[in-house]
Structure 1
Amino acid sequence: MFGELEGTGFEVIEPEFKACFIGHARVERLWTGARWSEGPAWFAAGRYLVWSDIPNNRMLRWDETDGSVSVFRAPSSNSNGNTVDTQGRLVTCEHLTRRVTRTEHDGSITVLASHFDGKRLNSPNDVVVKSDGSIWFTDPSYGIMMDYEGDRAESEIGACHVYRIDPDTGTVETVTTDFVKPNGLAFSADETELFIADTGGTHQKDGPAHIRKFQVGADGKSLTGGAVFATCTNGFFDGFRLDRDGRIWTSAADGVHCLDPQGRLIGKIHIPEFVANVCFGGRKLNRLFITGTTSLYSVYLNVNGIKR
């Protein structure tokens, strides 16, 4: 292990992990000062990253051109997960308002989902956009379990599901309903597989701390399978991304874990804080941005993220 920052560096568990990082590259702390950093999203056209500081009810913006950090939006309705849609617009999960929104190019906000079957959602957590324009999001109850990241309330739905928003009709429908606390999610490069984390062990004794793998049907929206793909060895898998070769780079209590396409843990990037989420960015999508509790980190890798 090595690194310019204390507590950071690469840990090789399987030999093939050595090819994933650059020998002289170091983990960089780009900024610190948050309470719980989450939901990084890379905007290629503007060369900036947006992420959430959930308890502080704000979204932050890091500028690649000069390294500056500014407030992107405050209040942010205790925003959590973010992503960019096929038209370069920001899609956000909001705990406080219990909805999924889209920020239009003119800055106005469109509500994409707030209810299912006439009942309010719990607290949308993480979100991805498929190439057909459909929006997939998880809806655990973390934002309504306490006042720290939203408003304490009872669940109207009474369960925690994963949903899909139809790109043509805007209809919200469930895609899987057998999760305890569905959390991060991501598609494979060819979108034939969907990976979803379950962090139910945070509030349920011996509850899940794993990622499950589903097969996406020919209709582009139905799911089958759902077997456990990998179980976290330190804390919980929260947010994650896949690279172009099918490896998963996922958050964990001790940093970022790298899983090979079979779900085997092959290496780690140690971070001195709990990591909540990651995303690939930079011009070549070879820079991994890491949201770790109070801070934003990054490291250049010898792999590339998926370009949608």
Structure 2
Amino acid sequence: MLTKDFVVYDDRFRSLAMGNVHVEQLATGFRWAEGPAYFAAGKYLIWSDIPNDRLMRYDETDGSVSVFATPCNNHNGHTVDLEGRLVSCEHLGRCVSRIEHDGTRKVLADRFEGKKLNAPNDVVVKSDGSIWFTDPTYGIDGDYEGDKAESEIGACNVYRIDPASGAVTAVVTDMVRPNGLAFSPDESILYVADTGLTHKADCSPDIRAYPVAADGKSVGAGRTFATSDIGLFDGFRVDIHGNIWSSCGDGVNCYAPDGTLIGKIKIPEVVANVEFGARKRNRLYICGTTSLYSVYLNTRAAKRPAAK
């Protein structure tokens, strides 16, 4: 019997949710929890508390919560690269940076065509080592999550950082405010959420799907994959079956690979982002507005395909 934390819209969801499993609140007291990233070797999760300019850490071995870093340039989204290093989107720094193995910070990208980036938001690393990130304006729209400033680029795009040269190229240029992003398990599709409704009244709250070109460095024309039923999509993750687990206004929506909304995990706050963790990568960590939650699922995080 599924608990009240799960809502089933399609029987396919029943195989992903388990009976007698509840959503757990692990920590609270944040202003805007975002950007979770899991470090398997250390058995811990880090996430952002953006307005408070700090990174938090949850230790799976004992359930303790601590401050991982502060100040931190108002970090937002994070990911872990192929070498286990933390890759970060900085609102205040207006850049994508990486923490090296010796603990030093390296800026990977802060400009496009000579102009400052807006405020990198979310980031993912592809199997070839390239880094793909979104660059809306939320960190420069005001002083709450960064420093208020005008956009030098005058647009909000999705970019790719080349792993060999470090060159930054625009790969998606048709969104109002690109936000969360992820690849399908075989990396043939790039999914990107558009939260442009915050700035443009007629912007549909969609996740769009872009076919990845044969060279793996660009994408084709996008199509609407799903439209949010409540609130906006933000960050999301993909499981081994190709299902998308996405933040929304009242929890986490689960979409089958065909775009059907098959189920929901109810959370009593607006959800910003999610991440798979635990030894089997079957624990979904959920960043609500002021709290960190988790729930165990009958699925696992998608693995990166082997590099070609």
TM-score range, shorter chain: over 0.9
Structure 1 counterpart of 2:269: 273
Contact 1:180-1:208 at 8 Å conserved across structures: no
**Over the residues paired in the alignment, what is the CA RMSD in angstroms?**
1.0
2:223 is the counterpart of 1:227: yes
Which residue of structure 2 aligns with residue 62 of structure 1?
Answer: 58
- Alpha carbons 2:54, 2:68 under 8 Å: kept: yes
Instruction: Read off the aligned partner of 2:29 and give its amino acid letter.
Output: G
SS of aligned partner of 1:224: coil
Q: CA deviation at 1:307?
A: 2.1
Aligned-pair CA distance for 1:202: 1.3
Gaps of 5+ in 2: none
Matching of residue 181 in structure 1 with residue 182 in structure 2? no
Name the counterpart of 1:243. Answer: 239
Q: Which residue of 2 aligns with 1:295?
A: 291
Match of 1:72 in 2: 68
1:106 aligns to what?
Answer: 102
Moved over 4 A (4+): none
Structure 2 match to 1:159: 155
Query: What residue in structure 1 maps to residue 79 of structure 2?
Result: 83
Give CA-to-partner distance per residue, 1:149-196, whole Å, 9 cap, x none.
000000000000000000000011100111100000000111111100
Q: Which amino acid aligns with 1:75?
A: P
Residue 119 of structure 1 aligns with an amino acid whose one-letter code is K
In structure 2, C-alpha distance between the alignment counterparts of 1:40 and 1:307, rounded to whole Å: 17
CA distance in 2, matches of 1:89, 1:16: 35
Match of 2:43 in 1: 47
Partner Cα distance (1:47, 1:179) in 2? 36
Q: Does 1:255 align with 2:240?
A: no
Q: Which amino acid aligns with 1:188?
A: S
Of 116, 123, 134 in structure 2, the residue corresponding to residue 138 of structure 1 is 134
SS of 1:261 mapped into structure 2: coil
Give the C-alpha shift of residue 33 in structure 1: 1.0
2:157 and 2:300 mapped to 1: Cα distance? 30
Aligned-partner SS, 1:303: coil
Tell me the amino acid that sits aligned with residue 209 of structure 2.
Answer: K
The letter of the residue matching 1:171 is A
TM-score, length-normalised on structure 1?
0.97
**Residue of structure 1 aligned with 2:211, choices 212, 215, 220:** 215
CA distance in 2 between partners of 1:15 and 1:172 (Å): 43
Deviates more, 1:192-201 or 1:203-212: 203-212
CA distance in 1, matches of 2:102, 2:57: 17
Cα separation, 2, equivalents of 1:107 and 1:294: 28
List per-residue Cα deviations over 1:79-100 (Å, max 9, x = no partner).
0000000000000000001000
The code of the aligned residue for 1:210 comes to: D
Identity %: 64
Letter in 1 for 2:207: I
Aligned counterpart, 1:198? 194
- Matched with 1:26 is 22
TM-score, with length taken from structure 2: 0.97
Partner Cα separation in structure 2 for residue 198 and residue 251 of structure 1: 12
Separation of aligned partners in 2, 1:100 and 1:206: 30
